[in-house]
Amino acid sequence: MASNLSFILNKPNDVSFEERPVPKLQHAHDVLVAINYTGICGSDVHYWQHGAIGHFVVKDPMVLGHESAGTVVEVGSAVKTLRKGDRIALEPGYPCRRCAPCLSGHYNLCPDMVFAATPPYHGTLTGFWTAPSDFCYKLPDNVSLQEGALIEPLAVAVHIVKQARVQPGQSVVVMGAGPVGLLCGAVARAFGATKVVAVDIVQGKLDFARGYAATHTYLSQRVSAEENGRRLVAEADLGGGADVVIDASGAGPSIQASLHVVRMGGTYVQGGMGKADISFPIMALCLKEVTARGSFRYGSGDYKLAIELVAAGKVDVKALVNGVVPFKDAEEAFKKVKEGQVIKILIAGPNEKVDGAMDTSVDEKKLKEAKAAGSTGCC
Ligand SMILES: NC(=O)c1ccc[n+]([C@@H]2O[C@H](COP(=O)([O-])OP(=O)(O)OC[C@H]3O[C@@H](n4cnc5c(N)ncnc54)[C@H](O)[C@@H]3O)[C@@H](O)[C@H]2O)c1
Ligand SMILES: OC[C@H](O)C(O)[C@@H](O)CO
């Protein structure tokens, strides 16, 4: 008998497993998906530790997880694009499709979005999940289900890089070398950026970034934002500054330095989520005529492009996975992510078998140094 065991956050630092009823198809366009793999996102860890992100507060027990891939096990009567047995990447947020943002093509900004593991909605660390078929993306034969679980953070990066309007030949600085920052660097390269500078406060993360998509790295210093920006521009040989600066850290010092790194007339994109209010070098923004944009989740075409980038070999998501653990070890996996020991861990669905091997090869000494320096990078 297939299990619908679910990993539930009851309150901060209090999780449990619960067998829940297998969900039923609600609409003719829905499909039922057996979850194969789910990645742990910083936001899941943040809810687990603190019970809230900004105004999203966990008030009732909530199933965690939203970075999933699965296999279609049942299709509604109106579904034409998917069949039983199809392997899919799951887009985990469902907009109303009727409001002004939805109708203008910006469904990620829908105020009535139902998003997995954003309270009050349950997430995907469970056995089975129902979703509208057009939010389930069939994986090409050369993309595995484990890679499929990484499509969600890759779609976040695709949206950020699209917001930055990265052009061939441009220089792109990415603040923060966590999974989102690393993927932003990889997508920027795929969009034709010739210089990608990864910035972090943890040398081990920069070492990884250098072997991944970054052409240059910069270890952020404990100096003023202006001086940090000046040193970064000089070390990475950016001349008058970077064409594009992306924040994928959510950290105040990184956001402040960014405005001193971007060139005159360049573009800054806020992808990281940190404190709600951070002081911002507004004069630099004004005097340089910087274009500043936000980026929230993903929208039209982002999942499709993310899958195409993986299928075409332009973005390697497998390289970010440190290990796959069985469902029963979900809490242990959350602890490893919280401790900063890994880039990305996948949790196998409760009906999936794995050996639980895990490579925590990110330099632990350097990560400890970073923690001592006050980094969490987490929203
Ligand atoms: N915009 C969106 O829709 C969206 C979606 C998912 C995640 N996020 C946010 O994006 C950010 C990155 O996500 P992630 O999963 O990679 O998180 P992460 O915590 O793994 O990575 C953040 C990185 O920033 C680094 N950092 C911290 N302070 C820094 C500083 N002063 N300068 C440079 N680097 C610094 C950390 O060491 C860490 O490596 C988070 O803030 C997350 O909340 C945004
Ligand atoms: O990738 C999606 C993000 O993790 C979520 O939007 C989260 O940060 C808020 O619920």
Top mutation candidate among 48, 200, 249 for ligand 1, by most atoms within 8 Å of CB: 249
N-to-C CA span, the chain: 38
What mean pLDDT comes out for the span 56-79? 97
Distance 171 CA to ligand 1 centre (A): 20
pLDDT surpasses 90 at 378: no
Helix 225-235 crosses helix 252-261 at what angle (to 10 degrees)?
Answer: 60
Q: Is 154 helix (H, G, I), strand (E, B) or coil?
A: helix
How far from chain centre, in Å, is Cα 52? 18
Cβ of 53 closer than 6 Å to ligand 2, yes or no, is: yes
Distance 22 CA to ligand 1 centre (A): 34
Distance 94 CA to ligand 2 centre (A): 13
Contacts of 252 (CB under 8 A, 6+ apart): 274, 275, 278, 279
- Residue with token string 């057996």: 34
What mean pLDDT comes out for the span 4-31? 97
Give, using CA atoms, the residue closest to atom 8 of ligand 2. Answer: 43
Q: What is the pLDDT of residue 367?
A: 46
Give the phi and the psi of residue 49 in degrees, each rounded to 5: -80, -45
Q: What pTM, to 2 d.p., does this model score?
A: 0.94
Ligand nearest to the CA of 185: 1
Closest ligand 1 atom to 46 CA: 43
Distance 25 CA to ligand 1 centre (A): 36
User: Which range, of 96-105, 171-180, 356-365, averages the lowest pLDDT?
Assistant: 356-365
Separation between Cα atoms, residue 270 and residue 258, nearest integer Å: 10
Q: pLDDT tens across 148-199, in order?
A: 999 999 999 999 999 999 999 999 999 999 999 999 999 999 999 999 999 9
What average pLDDT is seen over the chain? Answer: 93
What mean pLDDT comes out for the span 257-279? 95
Top mutation candidate among 43, 161, 200 for ligand 1, by most atoms within 8 Å of CB: 200
Distance 178 CA to ligand 1 centre (A): 6
Cβ of 248 closer than 6 Å to ligand 1, yes or no, is: yes
What mean pLDDT comes out for the span 314-323? 97
Cβ of 377 closer than 6 Å to ligand 1, yes or no, is: yes
Identify the band that residue 357 occupies on the pLDDT scale cut at 50, 70 and 90: low
DSSP structural state of residue 103: H
> Which is more confident, 370 or 226?
226
Distance 44 CA to ligand 2 centre (A): 8
Distance 82 CA to ligand 1 centre (A): 34
Give the phi and the psi of residue 53 in degrees, each rounded to 5: -130, 115
Cβ of 253 closer than 6 Å to ligand 1, yes or no, is: yes
Question: What value of ipTM does the predicted structure carry?
Answer: 0.98
Tell me the CA distances in angstroms from 123 to 126, 194, 222, 230, one per residue in order. 8, 38, 38, 43
Ligand nearest to the CA of 249: 1
Cβ of 45 closer than 6 Å to ligand 1, yes or no, is: no
Of 174, 185, 146, the residue nearest 68 (C-alpha): 146
Q: Percent helix, strand and coil across the chain, each rounded to 5? A: 30, 25, 40
Of 323, 327, 333, the residue nearest 353 (C-alpha): 327
Closest ligand 2 atom to 44 CA: 4
DSSP 33-61: EEEEEEEPPHHHHHHHHHSEETTEE--S-
What mean pLDDT comes out for the span 212-219? 98
Q: Is the dihedral of CA 293, 297, 299, 304 positive or negative?
A: positive
Q: What is the pLDDT of residue 362?
A: 43
Ligand nearest to the CA of 173: 1
